[in-house]
Amino acid sequence: MDFKAKLLAEMAKKRKAVSGMEVKEGNAKFVKGADLEMKRNQEYERKQQEIASKKRKVDDEILQESSSRTKPAPVENESEIDEKTPMSEIQTRLRQRNHPIMLFGETDIDVRKRLHQLELAQPDLNEGWENELQTAMKVIGKEMDKAVVEGTADSATRHDIALPQGYEEDNWKNIEHNSTLLSVDDDLKRDCDIILSICRYILARWAKDLNDRPLDVKKTAQGMHEAAHHKQTMMHLKSLMTSMERYNCNNDIRHHLAKICRLLVIDRNYLEANNAYMEMAIGNAPWPVGVTRSGIHQRPGSAKSYVSNIAHVLNDETQRKYIQAFKRLMTKMQEYFPTDPSKSVEFVKKAV
């Protein structure tokens, strides 16, 4: 009975579908195959149009979303635009990115805004393709050639390195006193100020030692190589120091740096500071590259614990540079403030 009801329902459905296409000839009723095929084609075309309209709508949404992503971000804060750098250097930086130095109708401030947007979009374009130490050596070589042309090559102060802004020679005691407050109450501004003051002091003392060298030593290849190391370190630490000045440094990096600086300045334990540095650079996760879970089930709280094990040196090129440059400051710190050999890294006693 059930099968009969289904069969009658299907027959009624078929009769309803062809009810408008019946042709009568005498007492006979029939349906033309051409009319039935035409109706099927119309139904098929209607469905295809609906599918095409839906696909077109999805494509428009994807195109709109991609265009909004690739659109350069407008400069919201005019104070972030560098207005002190000479236009010659601005043009050099634009040439390094294979961009025109000036477009038709542009003013100097428009050129600076365009470079600012390019550097925000791609901070380290093509920088990994060249040896940066050789680049720093070339800069020093150009400065020496310029000094020869100007007639100041034999001046005792010609090859001096500029000290960082805000440096004072007798502020180490204040740094030591302030360093006791590192990581206390998780104060962002205070930690950034203390870490920034330590970086500036070590860079300035390093620069002062380079400036105090005899003129003959400064002109040698080894002397230029040491100056290039300092210049490269300054270049790599620029992004970190800028983020410290603006108080927008990455919280994970800040916590690691605060721990390292406390071990360096207060405890003078360079071995533990080196271990903390390695934890910041490559982390202590079993698989620092990409593997976030080793099983099919994730344990509660595993995501939170994994954050402290991130290999920050693998995040991006800019972060890798200033993390490696900070290691040079740690080495100089051990040289300027020696401690017990058991607390030192690769302790080498200097010849007196």
In a domain? residue 121: no
Q: Distance between CA 37 and CA 33 in Å, rounded? A: 6
Q: Distance between CA 39 and CA 94 in Å, rounded? A: 64
**Cα three-residue angle 257-259-261, rounded to 5 degrees:** 65
Low-confidence ranges of the chain (pLDDT < 70): 1, 17-31, 66-82, 123-133, 144, 147-148, 151-170, 284-315, 347-352
**Got the DSSP string for 194-234?**
HHHHHHHHHHHHHHHHHHTS-HHHHHSHHHHHHHHHHHHHH
> What pLDDT digit, counting tens, does each position of 155-210 carry?
555 556 666 665 666 678 888 888 888 888 888 889 999 999 999 999 988 988 88
Q: Distance between CA 240 and CA 230 in Å, rounded? A: 16
pLDDT of residue 37: 81
pLDDT of residue 72: 47
pTM of the complete model beyond 0.95? no
pLDDT of residue 64: 76
**Number of domains present in the structure of the chain:** 1
In a domain? residue 167: yes
**Got the DSSP string for 156-209?**
TTTTPPPPPTT--TT-HHHHHHHHTTTTSTT-HHHHHHHHHHHHHHHHHHHHHH
What percent of the residues of the chain are helix, what percent strand, and what percent coil, each to the nearest 5? 65, 0, 35
In a domain? residue 24: no
Q: Distance between CA 321 and CA 121 in Å, rounded? A: 18
In a domain? residue 78: no
Q: Distance between CA 230 and CA 133 in Å, rounded? A: 10
Residues written for the chain? 352
251-262 helix and 188-211 helix, angle to the nearest 10 degrees: 60
Q: Distance between CA 199 and CA 265 in Å, rounded? A: 12
In a domain? residue 296: no
pLDDT of residue 28: 61
3-state secondary structure 13-68: HHHHHCHHHEEEECCEEEECHHHHHHHHHHHHHHHHHHHHHHHHHHHHHHHHHHHH
Residue recorded with tokens 């370190």: 233
In a domain? residue 135: no
In a domain? residue 112: no
Q: Distance between CA 262 and CA 76 in Å, rounded? A: 37
In a domain? residue 280: yes
Closest listed residue to residue 200, CA positions, set 223, 169, 232, 159:
169
Give the CATH number for residue 281.
1.20.940.10
Q: Hey, what are 97's tokens?
A: 């990115």
Residues 214/180, Cβ–Cβ less than 8 Å: no
Domain that holds residue 261: 153-291+307-352
